């Protein structure tokens, strides 16, 4: 799940009052602090209905990709039996392929594709950017199959440090590197023979919405449309830390960037409106659900601020979808994006009463409606090409 795509900063001046504000003292306390936070990594609570052996595996250190890959493999049979609308109603006949590719930074990237059954002509390519802490597998498998069944080639990747890709789990040392990784991978996808000459769309969820926007801003003429689901594109004023706190966080992120020092809050109740679907999320065992690493938090903040200042440059056809009751990313930010974007073709849909996870965490009817809204929007733009 996307536990911390929120950019909520619960640090206050009061609870940081014991930390010295000089860089010298920060460096001097960092070994002790780092030791403290490194052993305080959140241990996963027991997952219902699985063996002690699998629970033990899920509780192990998942900092590096090999352990995450082994864990996903061990949970394969469990995942096939999960009771969720996305899994139970997934269309048959979809051709799914997955594997690993080495990128230009020397990192092994996990990637996956879903194609309609043989004989169904392709209308377009849809490239997916997942949210913070999440992965392009698990819930997105069901979403991708539904979209593929409507005639689309769906492509996805795990960013470095997330899901099954190489890199320290949950660590974003530089947000723009992540954006460049996405551009590099999807440039290869757009050159594939099966999609050459077809429209190309990019879909971003939560933090993935910020990535999709930055991808578009870096290459504004290479996408035929952008779909954003509860995007992280602006920080509400009441969510920003004070200048004092921000300065401390910034210094700490330079001294011990990988430390999991951001206070952690379980946001699953804010993401999944339906308790049953919230429970299924526990089985997404390779998601990152520890406290946010210091450098990651600062990079998310910086990226959101940069995007907010450039929303007027968003020019591609645009579909924005957001839950009206979302407490993770602010639906008012999506309204702000809709108003600021220079796109001539732009649509904003707000779903009354819905939470952050509108693709997977709502009632079956609402999930179905959101997916249909995406497919209908794509169909219309492909039909007028």
Domains and CATH numbers, the chain: 23-383 (3.40.50.1820)
Measuring CA to CA, which residue among 343, 272, 293 is closest to residue 314? Answer: 343
pTM: 0.90
Measuring CA to CA, which residue among 375, 339, 373, 338 is closest to residue 358? Answer: 373
Q: What angle do CA 348, 349, 354 make, to 5 degrees?
A: 140
Beta sheet of 200-205, edge-to-edge order: 95-102, 108-115, 152-157, 124-129, 200-205, 225-229, 318-323, 346-351
Residues 6+ apart with CB under 8 A from 31: none
Whether the predicted pLDDT of 307 surpasses 60: yes
Interval 344-371: pLDDT, tens? 999 999 999 999 999 999 999 999 999 9
Q: What is the mean pLDDT of residues 23-31?
A: 41
Cβ atoms 346, 23 nearer than 8 A? no
Q: What is the mean pLDDT of residues 69-98?
A: 96
Measuring CA to CA, which residue among 133, 83, 161, 69 is closest to residue 288? Answer: 133
**6-10, 65-69, 164-168, 207-211 — which is least confidently predicted?**
6-10
Angular region, 93: left φ>0, alpha ψ -120 to 50, beta rest: left
Cβ atoms 176, 144 nearer than 8 A? no
Whether the predicted pLDDT of 37 surpasses 90: no
Query: What b/e string do you get for 237-256 counting C-beta neighbours within 10 Å, with b at 16 or more?
Result: eeeebeeebeebbebbbebb
């Amino acid at each position: 799940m996307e536990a911390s795509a929120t950019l909520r900063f619960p640090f206050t001046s009061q609870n940081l009052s014991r930390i010295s504000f000089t860089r010298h003292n920060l460096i001097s306390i960092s070994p002790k602090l780092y030791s403290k936070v490194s052993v305080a990594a959140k241990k996963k609570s027991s997952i219902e209905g699985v063996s002690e052996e699998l629970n033990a595996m899920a509780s192990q250190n998942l900092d590096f990709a090999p352990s995450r890959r082994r864990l996903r493999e061990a949970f394969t049979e469990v995942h096939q039996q999960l009771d969720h609308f996305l899994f139970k109603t997934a269309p048959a006949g979809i051709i799914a392929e997955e594997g690993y590719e080495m990128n230009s930074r020397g990192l092994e990237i996990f990637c996956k594709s879903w194609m309609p059954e043989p004989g169904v002509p392709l209308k377009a390519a849809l490239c997916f950017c997942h949210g913070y802490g999440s992965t392009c597998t698990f819930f997105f498998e069901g979403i991708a199959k539904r979209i593929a069944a409507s005639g689309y080639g769906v492509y996805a990747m795990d960013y470095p440090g997330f899901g099954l890709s190489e890199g320290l789990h949950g660590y974003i040392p530089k947000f723009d590197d992540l954006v460049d990784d996405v551009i590099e991978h999807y440039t290869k996808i757009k050159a594939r023979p099966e999609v050459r000459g077809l429209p190309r769309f990019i879909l971003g969820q939560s933090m993935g919405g910020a990535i999709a926007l930055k991808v578009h801003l870096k290459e504004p003429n290479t996408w035929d449309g952008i779909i954003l689901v509860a995007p992280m594109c602006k920080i509400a004023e009441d969510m920003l830390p004070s200048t004092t706190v921000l300065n401390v966080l910034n210094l700490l992120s330079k001294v011990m960037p990988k430390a999991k020092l951001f206070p952690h809050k379980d946001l699953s109740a804010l993401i999944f409106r339906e308790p049953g679907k919230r429970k299924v999320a526990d089985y997404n065992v390779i998601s990152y659900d520890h406290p946010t690493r210091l450098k990651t938090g600062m990079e998310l903040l910086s990226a959101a601020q940069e995007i907010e200042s450039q929303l007027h440059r968003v020019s591609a056809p645009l579909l924005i979808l957001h839950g009206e009751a979302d407490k993770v990313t602010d639906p008012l930010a999506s309204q702000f994006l809709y108003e600021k974007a220079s796109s001539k073709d732009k649509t904003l849909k707000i779903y009354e009463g819905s939470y952050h996870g509108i693709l997977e965490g709502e009632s079956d009817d609402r999930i179905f409606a959101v997916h249909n809204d995406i497919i209908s929007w794509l169909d219309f733009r492909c039909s007028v090409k």
